[in-house]
Structure 1
Amino acid sequence: MPSRYLYLVRHGEQKDAEHGLPDGPLSKRGVSQAQAIAERLGDVPFTGAWTSPLQRARETARIMTERLPSLTPEPSALLMDCIPSGPAPDMPHAFEPFFGAITEQEIEAGEAQMADATGEWMAPSREDRHDLLITHNFVIGWFVREVFDAPRWRWLGINQANAGLTIIRVRSAKPPVLITHNDLGHLPRELRSGLPQEQPY
């Protein structure tokens, strides 16, 4: 049975991200993270690669292709940072403040984007594929939610560190499988960043 493997990589750490800048270049640590994930994926026979068009993702892709020269990531608006869905009646109240400054237009745009993204990359393939997607925390959280057919709000709280690796297997006759989530084995402790709360892992 042919399988499609999705290698979802969150971009490297953004420089000055703590100041609330919406986008920007990678920090020195982010560059090292991108190099490390490229080394980790060096033996994967990639069929294709795509990246969010935002600067922090594009720079991650550029650094990765320096070590993986056979890759030519294509920018895709389907991998942009977004709000994948809005609040729902069954959502825990603790998540409600997150949506305070988010507009209905942002939610509608995110919902449409992620419907197209999962339609594009969660569809079974007629041959084995290995696809690399360099994207953002919420986008990866939505893909993981999709694997489990969880409630639409459940991308909230599914978090990925910078340069964390998530792998999903998509098959034609069976449900998709989450092979690994937020794997950081390629990153030494000093290079681990990007989770809501730093933890001693």
Structure 2
Amino acid sequence: MSRYVYLVRHGEQQDAEHGLPDGPLSGRGQRQARAIAERLSGVPFSSVHTSPLQRAVETARLMTQRMPAIEPEPSALLMDCIPAGPSPAMPHAFESFFGGVTAEEIAAGQAQMADATAEWLSPSRDDRHDLLITHNFVIAWFVREVFDAPAWRWMGVNQANCGLTIIRVRTAKPPVLIAHNDLGHLPAELRTGLPVDQPF
């Protein structure tokens, strides 16, 4: 039996460039959410879970309008967080990121991600498809977990708004990454959220 986990980063947030911690989707973010909904409309999802933050909840609502048989469930395990802190092996280039991050935030993020990966990267008795609408750092941690990479390697793993990552969880073998940050459903003008120096 296989479990497929579909990770979608929320759509573009309105006024995100002003540093607001949360808010509604922009018009472009709404179009992104509808595009990924169209892409996934034929998948027989067993469940849909979303971060409780507004930008993720709105993305989930727009997506599940095309999936009327299923209702999105908020989960604190999908909240935006800092999944892990600095380590001796981490390149110095990443150190500045942690300047304003507290030890408490890091500890909370570590505990959250341990619970999240235990919840959704565990094998299932039946074939199932789970949709998770969440945040950049959370998806980065899931990808790092699949590769069993050092803890700091979640840094530098980036997802565009409404990019699609798919993980297959198997019973007797390690999970595998099927797709990462797939943007095939988004035209060029809707591809936002990646670092400015990263080509599309």
TM range (shorter): over 0.9
Residue deviations 1:69-112 (CA, integer Å, cap 9, x gap)? 12211000000000000000000000000000000000000000
- Tell me the CA shift for residue 196 of structure 1: 1.4
CA offset at residue 18 of structure 1? 0.2
Cα distance in 2 for residues equivalent to 1:176 and 1:65? 26
Q: Structure 1, unaligned stretches of length 5 or more? A: none
Report the 3-state secondary structure (helix = DSSP H, G, I; strand = E; otherwise coil) of the residue aligned with 1:67.
coil
Where does residue 59 of structure 1 map in the other structure? 58
What residue identity is the alignment partner of 2:177? L
Q: Do the aligned partners of residues 71 and 124 (structure 1) sit closer, same or farther apart at CA in structure 2, a change above 3 Å counting?
A: same
Check 1:154–1:199 CA distance in 2 against 1; reply closer, same or farther (3 A cut).
closer
State the alpha-carbon separation in 1 of the partners of residues 58 and 104 from structure 2: 28
Q: 2:180 corresponds to which residue?
A: 181
Residue 10 of structure 2: aligned partner = 11
Cα distance per residue 1:173-196 (max 9 Å; x no partner) = 111000000000000000110001
Which residue matches 1:103? 102
Residue in 1 aligned with 2:23? 24
Q: Once the 2 structures are TM-superposed, how far is the Cα of residue 45 of structure 1 from its aligned partner?
A: 0.6
| Alignment pair present for 1:122 and 2:124 | no
Question: d(CA) in 2 for partners of 1:139 and 1:153?
Answer: 13
The ranges of structure 1 where at least 4 consecutive aligned residues each deviate by more than 2 angstroms after the TM superposition are 198-201
- Following superposition, the deviation at residue 118 of structure 1 comes to 0.3
> Matched residue pairs, number?
200
Task: Tell me, in whole angstroms, the C-alpha distance in 1 between the residues paired with 2:197 and 2:48.
Answer: 30
Aligned residue in 2 for 1:87: 86
- How far apart, in 1, do the equivalents of 2:66 and 2:4 lie? 21
- Opposite residue 15 of structure 1, the aligned amino acid is Q
- Secondary structure (helix, strand or coil) at the match of 1:29 reads helix
Aligned: 1:43 with 2:50: no
Separation in 1, partners of 2:8, 2:189: 19
Q: 5+ residue gaps in structure 2?
A: none
Q: Give 3-state SS (helix, strand or coil) of 1:196's partner.
A: coil
C-alpha RMSD of matched pairs (Å): 0.8
CA distance in 1, matches of 2:198, 2:86: 28
CA distance in 2, matches of 1:56, 1:70: 22
**SS of aligned partner of 1:100:** helix
Q: Deviations over 1:154-184 (max 9, x none)?
A: 0000000000000000011111000000000
Helix, strand or coil at the partner of 2:100? coil
Q: Percent identity?
A: 77
**TM-score normalized by the length of structure 1:** 0.98
